[in-house]
Amino acid sequence: MSTTLFNLQQAHIAHLQRAYTAILTDQGFDSLAIYSGHASVHFADDHMPPFQTYGHFMHWVGLADVQHSWLIIQPHERPQLYLYAPADFWHLPTHLPEEPWVAEFDVHFCSDKISPPLVGNAALIGDVERLTSNAQQALAAERQPDILVKALDEIRLFKTPYEIACLREANRLAIAGHQASQAAFIGASSELDIQLAYLAASRQRESNVPYQNIIGMNSHAGVLHYQHYDLSAPKQRYSLLVDAGRRFRGYCADITRAYVGPDAPALFDELVTAMHGLKDKLVKSVSPGVSFVTLHEQMHHHLADILVAHDLFQGTAEQAVAEGVTRAFCPHGLGHSLGLQVHDVAGLRHSDGSPAPAPDEHPALRLTRTLAPGMVVTIEPGLYFIEMLLAPLRQTSLPINWRLVDQLSPCGGIRIEDNVAVTESGFDNLTP
């Protein structure tokens, strides 16, 4: 790991110390306990699903798989890390890397699950409801104070240089996976084979991905969160959509690409090229002071232009937007905040913590903020051929070219997604 990254991480921790001190002091708290969380077994089973450390804990420690551990923050004091690390021959015990950031904490290795010592008026955040009743009773603290959690979410919304560096590296690793996926598709692989190629090239286990990779061929590309992998390659290869990420030190990449198969209509190739151009146009519009809702609305107007230019809609672009045609071809939002969570915190709130819900006409939009330096967002326009959404339009007299729609339906859909940091002067595309 580079010295530069370690220096950035130490500066990041110092930033958190200052910010947390200010917030805790302002809200009258003497100490804050952050619980890492822990995995739970499936109902009536002894098997646990993959686990992810609580985001506010990860924000300090940068490890995505720490369980049964505590971080105690007090104003003007060194953070206290109580790390659960029992002697164990079933599993490799938790350990900290030999990296400079560890020296910024007082580390206490605990062989037993503990209730951490709290000082004065204390607050507690994290998933403590699944602790034993005795453990919960031992924690004399205000749980999940709403104003406090919202203030801490706001800190996470604006990334430090260290966080940007981590997100950039996560993107670099994920891009290697996407390149391998494209090569596997060209080689006539199945969805499962493409997934395995992605994991190998991005150097990660399936349990480590920030979200379940979406590897959809042909009509499966039109299932927004397609959750399976066919074991056999299809006879015809119209399309491939890969929405897949990677973690680096807890931070998530979230990248999507659509690829044209040898059996696809020529028009589908043209549409994929057009959607790349639309993504690039929207990325270049990212800048401080820009409303993300406005960007989302611009996506719909540009998408309408594409539908008209390629004869899918034989009216005007303005009509396509006004009549809800573009919403049927793209039902999701333009993007979301990105960080330690794929859909990161504070996206649907104003800076004062008050709600900023998605507009009624765009209910799936996950980010309604005005962009500001330090935010990292995804830009992911889409164009899909989803019959359940298009079917109501077939009952209207709207000038949709159903012949072309039906010709393209086996291709499923297109989504192109980059991860973009908002800078003082504009944007920094982390997905080159």
Q: Which residues pair with 81 in a beta bridge?
A: 71, 107
Residue 2: the pLDDT is 86
CA distance 298 to 91: 51
CATH 3.40.350.10 location in the chain: 3-157
Are the C-beta atoms of 407 and 385 separated by less than 8 Å?
A: no
Q: Does domain 161-429 have CATH number 3.40.50.300?
A: no
CA distance 398 to 307: 13
CA distance 194 to 400: 34
CATH 3.90.230.10 location in the chain: 161-429
Are the C-beta atoms of 216 and 384 separated by less than 8 Å?
A: no
Residues of the chain with pLDDT under 70: 1
For 3-157, give the CATH class.
Answer: alpha beta
Are the C-beta atoms of 337 and 377 separated by less than 8 Å?
A: yes
Q: Please, where are the H alpha helices in 262-347?
A: 266-284, 292-309, 317-322, 325-329
In the block, which residue shows the tokens 């399309």?
239
Percent pLDDT > 90 in the chain is 94
174: its two tokens: 């994920």
CA distance 73 to 96: 19
